Amino acid sequence: MACTKRWLLCLSTLYMNKLTLRCSNARLRGTSNRSGPNKSPVSPHDDGQLHSPGGHSQASHSSTSLGSNSMTSKLPPLPASPSLSQSMGMGSGDEAIMSYPLPNPLPLWLNPAYARHIVKGNFMTLSARPKTVEQGEWVAHQVVEHYRNLWNFVRVVYDKEEDGKTICNSTSCPRMSAGTNHSYTWLNNRFEPIELPAFEYITLMQRWISGKIDDEKIFPTEASGVSYAHNPQITTTALLTGPDEWIGKRSGFPKDFFSICQTIFLQMFRVYAHLYWAHFSEPFYHLNLEKQLNSCFSHFVLTATALDLLKPQELEPMQPLIDLWAANGTFPPESKAYEYANLKAGARLLQLGGMA
């Protein structure tokens, strides 16, 4: 068990070091440097109480505009994105694409040329649980590592520009949204759903997740019992279904551990979705970080689906990208992410982008 943990630590350290180095050395396209280091997130005012993030997703028809005037004047023009009017009909994949609430032209992140990765290979090797690792320990490891990965990107949109504003702010992103059809609410101290600017929502989410991870009752650093794999031949989460058994019990995790991890992954997915819909072009594309974002998000989706941490319907805001990645080979056929994808829609997106 000790050897396995050392291997996991080394693997995660190498992966995180590469990501952190690339994020910290990000450069504007067409420039040689970018002034100022990445800063830690700036917390908005708060009442001192952290509440459950809730699970509300509301339909919305308002649009958001990206800010950061200081960066805009320096930026080269964006590449052209595929248009939905390019030979769209009732052919293969067209109906699925037309059913998605997509703008025209398509977002840059649905252009196959910019849906690529910095890492080549099968991310399933990083998502699949080693046979000798207990399920709860593996889920806990994935929660912590994916949270660290995500926060590298959140720090980029929290970095202050020359005008003193962050890229994601109450003006550019007045609500926590992922496109025009998905907006998310937070529960206040009276457990009422309220809309918040994305900046505040993400900060509260970060505090809530950090509080859960740092809670020894939820993520114990010293297991109360012996940690071992329930059955080395079974690698799915559907291992323990009896009332007196639960995922992580053998490693000292509480009975509600897995449901808490599911909520954490749902919150992280919402942040990824907001980053793609509101900030993919600015700042990630303009800082040459789109491949890093794609690599971490595809790894996140593979892990979330493989471990049953996200349900298929919860992936809806990013379904077109999941379709595209299934069609271009990013998601292997044996993965649940591939199973949840619409391959015809993905293939059609490749055609629209001139990649098929």
Return binding residues for Zn(2+). Answer: 168, 173, 274, 279
Q: What is the DSSP letter of 242?
A: S
Burial 208-231 (b: 16+ CB within 10 A, else e): bbeebeeeeebbbeeeeeebebee
Binding site: what residues are annotated?
Answer: 168, 173, 274, 279
Contact status, residue 272 vs residue 300, Cβ threshold 8 Å: yes
C-alpha–C-alpha distance, residues 299 and 126, integer Å: 8
> Largest Cα–Cα distance in the chain?
61
β-bridge mates for residue 193, sequence order:
187
Residue with tokens 């709860």: 136
Of 264, 326, 283, nearest to 67 by C-alpha is: 283
Residue with tokens 């908005």: 44
SS3 labels along 148-160: HHHHHHHHHHHCE
Contact status, residue 180 vs residue 61, Cβ threshold 8 Å: yes
C-alpha–C-alpha distance, residues 56 and 187, integer Å: 9
Contact status, residue 183 vs residue 176, Cβ threshold 8 Å: yes
Of 178, 166, 19, nearest to 109 by C-alpha is: 178
DSSP reduced 3-state for 105: coil
Give residue 74's Cα distance to chain centre: 28
C-alpha–C-alpha distance, residues 300 and 285, integer Å: 20
Contact status, residue 255 vs residue 247, Cβ threshold 8 Å: no
